[in-house]
Amino acid sequence: MQPTFSVEQIQSQGVWIRWESASRCPCSKLNGRHGADADCTACNGTGWIFHTPQDTQALIQSAEFSPKIYNQNMVFEPGALFFSARSEHCPAFMDRITVLEGRMRISMLRSRLAERAVLVTDDALETLPFPIVSKTVVKQSTSGDGRGGIDDYDLDVVYLRSVNAGTNTVGTVLTEGVDFTVDYNSEGLGQLNWAVGDLKNDGHGHSTSITPNVGDTFTITYYTMPIYRVIDFPHSIRNTMDKSKDVGGRNLSMPIQFKGSLISDLRELFEE
């Protein structure tokens, strides 16, 4: 068998990924239980713990693209990718693979689940099926000496609009920082926070809020990053004995290949 790519190729052309190992959570068997404990703090009730994150490079070899995130029945149709990583890595079933530089723009209709904020100390965090992840774009600057430098812009939520609270009419577009904010955790994964918009008022005690009520529909378009679930085991056939250049044969450390499927619901990333 001839290698079609090499470790050097992974280094020069591979994308950076974060590989997290998956292990079953012991809560699944506590007290004769069959299935995860919904209140478990170790696994957030999912039955799986993701640990030992490691950043490394992988080649994306081939993809089974699904042209739509949602089919005509609004059911998620995840695509799948084949990754090749260095042979010392051993991704296994259920591991999580995050393509760190990858960004996807998605658009969806949701119903508000987060309780409305009442006090300024309240959060009204809405956990979306995919985390909000900012995308940095560069734009020619018109300021300064006129020759134009480069400005960075971070995009995250690009469109958010709901129905007017308590009515069946479509409301106005919500403005980030005024009607909502995005709360990021230490890994840069964000949740929508309605609090500032829930509490918006005219300064004389009259609400000017245009955020939806709990249960109301809103449309949101935002950036996220693709996170894949490993759905097979590395191809062990790729540990091979090469005789093409050495009559005695030598162990050749071949990259390993594994398949990942885009995860269709990532609320496991946030503690409820």
Binding residues for Zn ion, rule: CB under 5 A, are: 25, 27, 40, 42-43
Residue type, 80: A
Query: With respect to Zn ion, which residue has the nearer C-beta, 24 or 68?
Result: 24
CB atoms within 10 A of CB 220: 21
Q: How far is the CB of 24 from Zn ion (least distance, A)?
A: 9
Q: How far is the CB of 35 from Zn ion (least distance, A)?
A: 10
What residues contact residue 94 under an 8 Å CB cut-off, 6+ apart?
22, 48, 229, 230
Residue type, 34: H
Beta bridge partners of 230: 260
Distance CA 159, CA 74 (A): 20
Query: With respect to Zn ion, which residue has the nearer C-beta, 31 or 73?
Result: 31
Half-sphere exposure of residue 271, counting CA atoms within 13 Å on the CB side?
7
Query: With respect to Zn ion, which residue has the nearer C-beta, 29 or 250?
Result: 29
Q: How far is the CB of 105 from Zn ion (least distance, A)?
A: 33
Residue type, 230: V
Distance CA 79, CA 259 (A): 11
Distance CA 173, CA 158 (A): 10
Q: How far is the CB of 27 from Zn ion (least distance, A)?
A: 3
Query: With respect to Zn ion, which residue has the nearer C-beta, 43 or 225?
Result: 43
Query: With respect to Zn ion, which residue has the nearer C-beta, 40 or 106?
Result: 40
Query: With respect to Zn ion, which residue has the nearer C-beta, 25 or 124?
Result: 25
Q: How far is the CB of 98 from Zn ion (least distance, A)?
A: 22
| Planar angle of CA 261, 262, 265, nearest 5 degrees | 125
Q: How far is the CB of 37 from Zn ion (least distance, A)?
A: 6
Reference 199, options 227, 170, 178; nearest CA is 178
CB atoms within 10 A of CB 210: 19
